[in-house]
Amino acid sequence: MERKNNAAGSVPVMPLRRMNMFAEKEKAGNVKGTVLRLGTWFLREKMLLVAIFAVVLLSTICSILAPGLQSRAIDVIAGDNNRRILLEAVMFMFTAYLICSVMNLLTGLFSAHLSQRLVKRMRNELFDKLVRLPVGYSDTHSRGDLMSRMTNDIENMSMTVSMSVPSFFSGVLMLLGTAAVMFWFCWQLAVLSLLTIFMTVLAAKFIAVMVRRYSRKRQALLGSLNGFVEETVSGFRTVAAFSRQRISIEKFEKISDELTSAGIRTEIFSGIMGPVMNCIGNVSFVIIAACGGVFAVNGLISVGMISAFIIYARQFSRPVNELAQIYSQLQSAVAGAERVFATLDCVSEDQSGEELNDGEPLNIYFRNVDFSYEEGHPVLRNFSLDVPAGRKVALVGSTGSGKTTVVNLLLKFYHPDSGEILLNDQKLSSLSCSSVRSQVAIVLQDTEFFEGTITENLRFANQDATDEQIERALQLSRCSDLIARLPRGRETVISASAQNISQGEKQLLSIARALIADPQILIMDEATSNVDTATEKCIQDAMQNVMRNRTSIVIAHRLSTIRDADLIVVMDHGTVVEQGNHFELLMAHGKYYELWSTQYAGLAT
């Protein structure tokens, strides 16, 4: 069973195969809407956009003026050969190209700033959304896929679009300016040049459709590959223990082959955009050279004008090619943006609600609760249960009977389909999540720790915990000897995935972390399953003191650990089939008796 974390400790969740209520639905490719939404992100950087537009405008003006100055210089050479006029033309042309180069440098610098600011802003908003989403969302998405959205998709989206902004400004300005000058010099040649635009539009439209299709597939496969790698690395002990290396490699290669295939197709269609546009541009060049020669012979234009027109034709085709490539690249960015926006559009967990009444011992009441993770497959059926304040209640039953679901509903990770849950006389549905969870601490069979010192991990349950509170929790959970054996005591750094401490030590520290939260409700889910018998006895003795005056819910398969529970609730297929204390249930010879007899016989339950 997979586990997650909350502020008070680890949090139980249900297997992925049971969850589709938060599953992300594939959206039809709304390119226009996505592009417009991306535009709103760029508008947040107004000053940078204005600066980019200004330098691109100056660069474009210089690029448009330079060929005219070159034409004048050629006509001077071919005509009266006036050195003064020739020198002036050359100096102006040199100045124009120098300014153009400087502006291009500034454009690159501003674009880099724009890109990195967008990356920061997008990642901040996406991470803020991820930590505010309901637990069910993370249950239905692999960690690798979420990481891919946070890294690959955002990087691809911001880099592609931010680098396209100056190209878009430059392309539009160059097209308008060059077309105006071309019509001013010779409208006949200008019309012939514009005929090639129709070919460009048709080619760009076809290629862009193919790029968008395979880019979307590539991004999805990249998320799947990251998810599989993350799961394999984190669970490598299991992979090695069952000798699943070969099968894992085959599955990885299968996903990788599909990703490679989609990537090749994406790169092919993205790559052919430039050559196709260049080919069309060369056709335009041939038309201008041939027709311009005819016009020059007939005296319609000068030789220098032909030279200028060839450069203008190149300048005219270049932004057309760039805009076509930008459109192609945007398809890849849109594919990533759709995945990011799909997460940003998910509804955050509702944090509103009333506060729990202070100072009152908490009684828990489940009243005719029905719940299902997947429609048509109920997990709890007409479930009713009273958990008195300060009492120890144990939930037992076979796997899949709904024990962990009861905890999920109590922590407001999910909401009942029908019925209601009460804390004293307050409805759980009307209470805020933070108010409820601040009164609950949980200890799980599978524990989660973060990279950092032991003290930092313990304070995860309560940032304001004093050293005295921490020491008391360590003593009650029998961690004092463990801390004394460590080279740096509580300041020992727990490595990534907590590989430098044993599973039993993590279990003890998890119990200490729950105690530091000082909750009214304590939930123990197979909390002593990873420690030896002697340590378990010490923990059980300590927990008796900890549970005193607290409402406690214990989920257990090892029935010997809950013999002293005030109330044992036996669940089967989402319903309560028996309840009572240990001896009452044994005398009843019902489901609990069967479970006890099976364990006593040494068989697996």
Q: pLDDT digit string (tens) for 376-389?
A: 888 999 999 999 88
Q: Helices (DSSP H) in 131-153: which residue ranges?
A: 135-139, 143-148
Give the E-state strand segments of 60-211 in sequence order.
Answer: none
Sequence letter at residue 534:
A
Q: What is the mean pLDDT of residues 479-504?
A: 77
In order of 5, 122, 530, the CA distances from 388 in angstroms are: 26, 47, 29
Name which of 519, 591, 567 is nearest 8 in CA terms.
519
**pLDDT score recorded for residue 28:** 38
pLDDT recorded at residue 498? 60
pLDDT grade for 491, boundaries at 50, 70 and 90: confident
With the C-alpha atoms ordered 114, 116, 119, 123, is the resulting torsion angle positive or negative? negative
Beta strands in 312-466 (DSSP E): 364-371, 380-387, 392-397, 418-423, 426-427, 440-443, 452-453
Of the two residues 257 and 168, the one the predictor is more confident about is 257
Give, for 12, the enclosing helix (H) or strand (E).
strand 9-12
**Average pLDDT over all residues of the chain:** 78
The answer to which of 117-131, 521-535, 585-599 has the lowest mean pLDDT is: 521-535
Sequence-separated (6 or more) residues with CB below 8 Å from residue 247: none
Q: Which tens digits make up the pLDDT trace of 310-343?
A: 777 777 767 766 776 677 677 777 877 888 888 8
- Compute the distance between CA of residue 262 and CA of residue 252 in angstroms, rounded to an integer: 15
> What mean pLDDT do residues 299-304 have?
70
Six-digit token string for 57: 């405008």
pLDDT for 370 equals: 93
pTM of the model: 0.67
**Better pLDDT: 482 or 497:** 482
Beta-ladder partners of 553: 393, 523
Note the pLDDT of residue 570.
92
Query: How do beta strands 418-423 and 392-397 pair?
Result: unpaired
Question: Contact at 8 Å (CB) between 119 and 154?
Answer: yes
Q: Does pLDDT of 60 surpass 70?
A: yes
- pLDDT band for 418, please (50, 70, 90 cuts): very high
Neighbours of 358 (CB within 10 A): 5
Give the model's pLDDT for residue 551.
Answer: 85
Q: Label residue 541 by pLDDT band (50, 70, 90).
A: low
Rounded Cα–Cα distance for residues 210 and 197 (Å): 20
pLDDT digits (tens, 9 = 90+) for 550-584: 788 988 877 877 888 889 999 988 899 999 999 99
Please report the pLDDT score of residue 275 as a whole number.
Answer: 80
Both structure tokens of 554? 């214990």
Looking at residue 369, what is its pLDDT?
A: 93
**Tokens representing residue 204 in the block:** 């760009």
Q: Report the pLDDT averaged over residues 347-361.
A: 82
Cβ contacts of 578-581, under 8 Å, gap ≥ 24: 579/385
Q: How far, CA to CA in Å, does 313 sit from each of 95, 306, 310, 531?
A: 22, 10, 5, 79
Owner of token pair 């979307």? 216
- Residue 389: its pLDDT value, please? 86
What is the mean pLDDT of the segment spanning 226-239?
A: 76
Alpha-helix runs per DSSP H in 298-430? 303-344, 403-410
Whether the predicted pLDDT of 168 surpasses 90: no
- Percentage of the chain surpassing pLDDT 90? 7
Statement: residue 248 has pLDDT above 50: yes
Q: Which of 328, 123, 332, 148 is nearest to 255 (CA)?
A: 148
Task: Return the number of other C-beta atoms located less than 10 Å from residue 88's C-beta.
Answer: 15
Q: What is the mean pLDDT of residues 144-170?
A: 78
CB 169 within 8 A of CB 52: yes
pLDDT at 416: 92
CA distances to 126, 128, 141, 233, 365 from 348, rounded to whole Å, are 12, 10, 15, 30, 27
The two beta strands, 521-525 and 551-555, are parallel
Report pLDDT for 11: 39
Helix (H) or strand (E) holding 568: strand 567-572
pLDDT at 27: 41
Cα 306 off chain centre by: 55
Q: Tell me the pairing of strands 418-423 and 426-427.
A: antiparallel
Q: How confident is the model at residue 13 (pLDDT cuts 50, 70, 90)?
A: very low
DSSP single-letter state for residue 560: G
Which pLDDT score, from 0 to 100, does residue 15 have?
39
Confidence at residue 371, expressed as pLDDT on a 0 to 100 scale: 92
Residue 538 has pLDDT above 70, yes or no: no
Q: Is the pLDDT of residue 59 over 80?
A: yes
Per-residue pLDDT, 468: 87
CA pseudo-torsion sign 211, 213, 219, 222: negative
The pLDDT value recorded for residue 395 is 92
80-111: pLDDT as tens digits: 656 777 777 778 878 888 888 898 889 888 88
Higher-pLDDT residue of 27, 48: 48
End-to-end distance of the chain based on CA atoms, in angstroms? Answer: 16
Q: At what angle are helices 273-297 and 187-234 packed, to 10 degrees?
A: 170
Is residue 61 pLDDT above 60, yes or no?
Answer: yes
